[in-house]
Structure 1
Amino acid sequence: MSSTNGSAKSESKLGPKNVPTAEGKKTDELLDKHDKYEFGGPAGVTAMMIGFPLLMYYLWICLWFYDGQLVFPHSVEEIKPFLLDMWAHVRDDASPNLYAWKVYSGLMAYELLLALVLPGYMQEGLPVPSLGYKTLMYNCNASACVYTTMATAAILHYTHIFRLTEIIDNYGHIMSVAMIYGFAVSFGMYFLTVLRGEQIRMSGNFIYDVFMGACLNPRIGSVDLKMWAEVRIPWVINFFLAVSGACKQYEQYGYVTPNMAFMVLATWLYLNACAKGEECIPQTWDMFHEKWGFMVIFWNFAGVPFTYVYSVVYMASHDPSKYQFSTPTYILLYLTLLTAYSIFDTSMSQKSRFKMQCQGITTFRKAFPQLPWGTIKNPKFIQTAHGNRLLISGWWQFARKPNYTADWVQSFTWGLVVGGASPIPYFYSVFFITVLIHRCGRDFERCSIKYGKDWDRYCSIVKYKFIPGIY
């Protein structure tokens, strides 16, 4: 590795572990306290907690019952009939029935059981300021869990115990159950954490603290619930929704369209990336700093799985003639996805493995597929007065968030796969870019406080946030 303090100099050894200095610890103490409201404060988070589930219902109804087009009342007189029609679809086609409870609860229980019993790769996390810089160990067995789940699903499908087509056919019902889980776990974890006296970084406002969360690293045995929910629930559901859509097409038409096959590939790539690179997740902001509240819980349990694959919902309910492309267009679409995925995969790996190197970890897990340039040899970095090191090598020499850019391009292709047939599948990419820009603002503000002049120096070297030469 080489450090940059005005000019680069080579180091023959990794040097001391990436631990904060006395000055850095003082800054961490300030950052680990609530000092201001985010997301518009209590009023803003209340609006999101009410509004987002309503939006999910609305977009699903438009996809399934209104030819994928956005519908709305054109006059005051039409408002009441419009709302009654929306409610009728929720009541009749998205009721949280017993079947949906069995399916969703069964998946949750099975994934938790697998996480508890299957062997995995033990990975040390980053030092956590609120735990006195203690590091936690994570049992990274997502790959074993995911492929065991796939094998189980295949057996259930072919033995007709549980046909995979039933997932997409019961989309609305399962989505409602997922929402109920999101709310119940969010409020339940808040009360449990407060009762146990383990809350951190609290504002004192009830609804805001439920939204942001009270606990940082809740666990059941060896399972870190926050990491488990991030990997095992949303992306598993996304993948199986795509597979369900493909099965439904095959049963209806005798073939699977290139568009639906694209979504099966895209969701598998993302799920597999999370599973095979699970040891990198403990090094992320989500694990290190973000609390486990409604914002994260609801999004993992309901938001991600039931808003990111609207293209699958559209294709499963519409004739393939509505979204057919030419062969060159298909080739370009697939190449765009694979290119974006490779940059996403390797940039995430580079940053996470750099953080591991800074902790003195030099042996890395190998899982399929291992893409070239996932680990940087002799990376350049800025040594900060805080004690941390800021990477300026690999993809990270070109932009401060190259992984976000590649991730967003993937999300955009998930909408492009239906072309102009419906605007709703583009919701993912539109929402996602809003989230990424907001998240970057939070992250960069925190880094500016944490690193001071060193952050200014870093920004002078890595000038662009997302796209080199543009932004």
Structure 2
Amino acid sequence: MSSSSKAASDLNPRTTHYEFLGPPGALAITIGVPAMTYALYFGCSESHGGCPPPIDTALILDSLSNPSWWKGLWDTKAALAYLAWYAFIVVAWVILPGDWVDGVPMRNGVTKKYKINAFSTALLTFGVVAGVIYRYGPEPLTFIYDHWLGLVTASILMAVVQGLGCYLASFRKGALLALGGNSGNPIYDFYIGRELNPSIGSFDLKSFNELRPGLILWALIDVGMVCEQAIRRGGFAKVTDSMWLVVAFQLFYVIDALYNEPAILTTMDITTDGFGFMLAVGDLAWVPFVYSLQARYLVFNQIELGPINTALIVLVNLAGYYIFRAANGEKNDFRNGRNTKNLQYMTTESGRKLLTSGWWGRSRHPNYMGDLLMAFAWSLPTGFNTPITYFYVTYFAVLLIHRERRDSEACKIKYGKDWDKYKKLVPWRIIPYVY
């Protein structure tokens, strides 16, 4: 073996541990995520009989075997609109000013720089939308509701193109691969992401997709649902309190994430995972079109909550946000050498410190508990007529449990016996005395 080949194999070792049950699981999720995105539309849609509609197995099988049904998933106007949206976001990244921030040093010794301007991109987007509504009224934004299915298809196709393009590009000489995405199995590596940080010059595709095209589109979709309901009810003043509540919660969450953009640079998505179909379809299709399900439901199931129910739901959301921010604040301060609350901690053999008091003494991931409370608050305004609008919080719980277990496995490798000691000091994974 030549020295250059050996260096490459040392830097990019073969992946020997599978996640998601290996290639069969990766294939199932690759098919399942788009299928579930469509299913949540057909299973909760006024044009298809309600939420859920009456189950007619014969009709479902007939539709799936009919080429016309499959052709109906395509919408040229929606595809062009989605491409225009993605192009707009890319151009905004290029032309809007932003600080260049260092990421976490990578194992090849390189520290990437990331342009931070997601928040200003959102402000530009909201400014354009406000101008359109002021000039033309809410009608233009109803395009989103009317062309929902085509927009979903366009976003999924974009994810497929990006996932496949990044997989093929990862075979070029000098590419830094994700430690978990170099198994040699094309199905698995395409799904999980083979290259760690695919980039075009200074344009990092993974960090760009993480916040901009999907997250801002989620907010834009919510605004579109308000506009659709306003048309039906005779103006914005008659939009239901449940719709305003869902949109306010979700817009605040999106804006908060965009404003704190540098925080994503230390997340597992950026530092550890490769960029493949998993992240692409999640960022581009799943986030905007699944997370906005509650707002879409409230377009055709218009619920008035009243002041008391509204106040209670607001309290649930505020409690979740407080826990989420307070926990992350403690962690970030401690990592940066500030311990103003005199929090207790244990020191590992490697010299690293693990918090054992404050929010991080209550559970190993108290921020996840805050996230789950907020997700629950987003579903509460839809009432209890259907479990489908609670899909998000159910899915999110499964996602966070899986992520917590991935993190625990990584920490076991990183800290060894010290991790076992830490787990005795902080026994609860996410919710104290529950899990």
TM-score under structure 2 length normalisation: 0.88
The equivalent of 1:146 in structure 2 is: 122
The equivalent of 1:351 in structure 2 is: 331
* C-alpha distance 459-70 of structure 1, shift in aligned 2 (>3 A): farther
Q: Are residue 409 (structure 1) and residue 373 (structure 2) matched?
A: yes
The equivalent of 1:367 in structure 2 is: none
RMSD, aligned α-carbons = 2.6
* Contact 1:93-1:173 at 8 Å conserved across structures: no
The equivalent of 2:317 in structure 1 is: 337
Distance 2:178 2:386 in 1: 44
* Contact 2:63-2:69 at 8 Å conserved across structures: no
Q: Are residue 280 (structure 1) and residue 263 (structure 2) matched?
A: yes
The equivalent of 2:51 in structure 1 is: 68
Q: Show CA shifts across 1:188-247 (max 9, x none).
A: 110011134513430010100001111112223433321211111222121111111111
Q: Show CA shifts across 1:380-439 (max 9, x none).
A: 443333354323454222211111111112122222221122221111111111111111
* C-alpha distance 42-378 of structure 1, shift in aligned 2 (>3 A): same
- 1:305 positional shift: 1.1
The equivalent of 1:369 in structure 2 is: none
Match of 1:181 among 158, 163, 166: 158
Which letter maps to 1:56?
T
Percent of aligned positions with the same letter in both sequences? 31
* Contact 2:241-2:306 at 8 Å conserved across structures: no
* Contact 2:178-2:273 at 8 Å conserved across structures: no
Q: Are residue 258 (structure 1) and residue 241 (structure 2) matched?
A: yes
Q: Are residue 103 (structure 1) and residue 81 (structure 2) matched?
A: yes
Q: The residue matched to 1:195 in structure 2 has which SS?
A: coil
Q: Are residue 454 (structure 1) and residue 432 (structure 2) matched?
A: no
Distance 1:119 1:150 in 2: 17
How does 1:313-462 map onto structure 2 within 5 Å?
313-318=296-301, 320=302, 323-355=303-335, 357=336, 380-462=344-426
The equivalent of 2:5 in structure 1 is: none
Which letter maps to 2:142?
T
Q: Are residue 170 (structure 1) and residue 183 (structure 2) matched?
A: no
Q: The residue matched to 1:138 in structure 2 has which SS?
A: strand
- 1:258 positional shift: 0.9
Distance 1:62 1:288 in 2: 36
Q: Are residue 40 (structure 1) and residue 21 (structure 2) matched?
A: yes
Distance 1:59 1:281 in 2: 28
Counting matched residue pairs gives 417
Which letter maps to 1:166?
F
- 1:317 positional shift: 2.7
- 1:55 positional shift: 2.0
Match of 2:34 among 30, 35, 53: 53
- 1:166 positional shift: 1.3
The equivalent of 2:191 in structure 1 is: 211
Distance 1:89 1:411 in 2: 38
* Contact 1:344-1:407 at 8 Å conserved across structures: yes
* Contact 1:399-1:463 at 8 Å conserved across structures: yes
Q: The residue matched to 2:101 in structure 1 has which SS?
A: strand
* Contact 2:141-2:224 at 8 Å conserved across structures: yes
How does 1:173-252 map onto structure 2 within 5 Å?
173-198=150-175, 199-201=177-179, 202-252=182-232
Match of 1:113 among 91, 95, 111: 91
* Contact 2:76-2:150 at 8 Å conserved across structures: no
Distance 1:88 1:145 in 2: 42
* C-alpha distance 224-160 of structure 1, shift in aligned 2 (>3 A): same
The equivalent of 1:16 in structure 2 is: none
* C-alpha distance 117-397 of structure 1, shift in aligned 2 (>3 A): farther
* Contact 1:400-1:466 at 8 Å conserved across structures: yes
* C-alpha distance 411-70 of structure 1, shift in aligned 2 (>3 A): farther
Distance 1:117 1:354 in 2: 36
- 1:157 positional shift: 3.4
- 1:292 positional shift: 0.7
* Contact 1:242-1:260 at 8 Å conserved across structures: no
Distance 1:298 1:376 in 2: 41
Q: The residue matched to 1:408 in structure 2 has which SS?
A: helix
Distance 1:181 1:379 in 2: 46
Which letter maps to 1:128?
M
- The structure with higher relative contact order (CA 8 Å, sep 6+) is 1
* Contact 2:194-2:274 at 8 Å conserved across structures: yes
- 1:345 positional shift: 2.8
* C-alpha distance 290-376 of structure 1, shift in aligned 2 (>3 A): farther
The equivalent of 1:24 in structure 2 is: none
- 1:138 positional shift: 2.1
Which letter maps to 1:416?
L
* Contact 1:414-1:425 at 8 Å conserved across structures: no
TM-score under structure 1 length normalisation: 0.82
Q: Which moved more, 1:143-152 or 1:48-57?
A: 48-57
* C-alpha distance 89-245 of structure 1, shift in aligned 2 (>3 A): farther
Q: Which moved more, 1:387-396 or 1:223-232?
A: 387-396
Q: The residue matched to 2:382 in structure 1 has which SS?
A: coil
- 1:167 positional shift: 1.3
Distance 1:259 1:118 in 2: 35
The equivalent of 1:366 in structure 2 is: none
Which letter maps to 2:74?
P
* Contact 1:31-1:446 at 8 Å conserved across structures: no
Which letter maps to 1:36?
H
* C-alpha distance 276-394 of structure 1, shift in aligned 2 (>3 A): farther
- 1:92 positional shift: 7.8
Which letter maps to 1:217?
N
Which letter maps to 2:267?
T
The equivalent of 2:133 in structure 1 is: 157
The equivalent of 1:128 in structure 2 is: 106
Distance 1:312 1:68 in 2: 13
